[in-house]
Amino acid sequence: MSRFGTVVPLVTARALSAREFTYELPDGAGKGAVVSVPFGRSRARGVVVDVVSAPPAGVKALPVEAVVHELPPVLVDLALWLAEYYGSTPARALELIAPVRRQRRKEQPSPVERQSLEGEAAPERLSADQEEALSRVVGALDAGGGHFLLYGPTGSGKTEVYLQAAAAALERGLGTIVLVPEIALAPQTVGRFRERFGDSVALLHSGLTDAERRDERERIAGGEARIVVGARSAIFAPMHGLGLICVDEEHDSSYKQESDPRYDARTVAAKRAALEGAVALYGSATPRPESWERLERLELSERIGGRLPPVRLVDLRRESGYPLSGPLLAELGAIAEHGGKAILLLNRRGVAPALHCRACGATFRCPDCDVALVLHRDEMLRCHHCGHAEPAPSECPVCRSVELARIGAGTQRLERELAARVPELELIRLDADAVKRPEELAGLLRRFRETDRAVLLGTQMVAKGHHFTGVALAAVVDADTGLGLPDLRAEERTFQLVTQLAGRSGRDGPGRVLVQTFQPDARPLALAARHDVPRFLADELRRRRELGYPPFRHLVRVLVTGPSEGAAVKLLAELRAGLEGHGADLLGPAPLFRLRGRHRAQLVAKTDEPRRLAARAAQLLAAAAPAMRKAKLTAVVDVDPQAL
Find the CATH number of the domain harbouring 17: 3.40.1440.60
Domain assignment of residue 108, yes or no: no
What is the extent of the structural domain holding 272?
A: 113-299
Together in a domain, 518 and 419 = yes
Single out the residue of 200, 185, 199, 206 nearest to residue 442, CA to CA.
185
The residues that bridge with 380 in the sheet, in sequence order, are 391
Average pLDDT of the residues in 353-381: 89
Q: Do both 173 and 237 map to the same domain?
A: yes
Q: Which residues on neighbouring strands pair with residue 595, listed in sequence order?
A: 598
Q: Is the pLDDT of residue 120 over 70?
A: yes
Poorest-pLDDT segment among 62-71, 206-215, 548-557: 206-215
122-126, 206-210, 223-227: range with highest mean pLDDT: 223-227
pLDDT above 90: residue 307 = no
Task: Let me know if residue 596 belongs to a domain.
Answer: yes
Domain shared by 121 and 81, yes or no: no
Is residue 205 located within the same domain as residue 137? yes
- In this prediction, residue 18 has a pLDDT band, given cuts at 50, 70 and 90, of low
342 shares its domain with 488: yes
Is 24 domain-assigned?
yes
* Closest to 331 in 3D by CA, of 511, 509, 497: 511
Residue 122 lies in a domain: yes
Domain-located, residue 499? yes
Confidence of residue 16 (pLDDT cuts 50, 70, 90): low
pLDDT band at 293 (very low <50, low <70, confident <90, very high): very high
Shared-domain flag, residues 163 and 257 = yes
Q: How would residue 114 be classed by pLDDT, with cut points 50, 70 and 90?
A: confident
Instruction: Kindly report the CATH number assigned to the domain that includes residue 570.
Output: 3.30.70.600
Question: Given pLDDT bands bounded at 50, 70 and 90, which one contains residue 105?
Answer: low
pLDDT at 260: 87
| pLDDT (mean) for 202-229 | 92
Q: By C-alpha distance, which of 47, 72, 512, 41 is closest to 306?
A: 512
Give the highest mean pLDDT range of 203-212, 433-442, 479-488, 551-560. 551-560
- Please indicate, yes or no, whether residues 538 and 568 belong to a single structural domain of this protein: no
Digit-coded pLDDT (tens) for 586-600 = 999 999 999 999 999
For CA atoms 492, 493, 495, 496, give the dihedral sign: positive
Task: Please state, as a whole number, how many other Cβ atoms lie within 10 Å of the Cβ of residue 103.
Answer: 7
- What is the model's pLDDT at position 1? 67
597 inside domain: yes
Q: Are residues 146 and 232 in the same domain?
A: yes
What's the whole-number average pLDDT of the chain?
A: 91
CATH number, domain containing residue 277: 3.40.50.300
What is the rounded CA–CA span in Å between residue 602 and residue 98? 32
pLDDT at 234: 97
Distance CA 228, CA 205 (A): 10
What confidence tens digit (pLDDT) does each residue in 426-483 have?
Answer: 999 988 888 777 678 778 888 999 999 999 999 887 877 677 888 999 999 999 888 8
Q: How many domains does the chain have?
A: 4
Q: What is the pLDDT of residue 465?
A: 64
| Residue 32, helix vs strand vs coil | coil
Whether the Cβ atoms of residue 530 and residue 513 lie closer than 8 Å to each other: no
Chain-centre distance for alpha carbon 48: 30
Q: Which of 50, 71, 97 is the last residue of a domain?
A: 97
Residues 30 and 175 in one domain: no
What CA–CA distance (Å, rounded) separates 96 from 598? 28
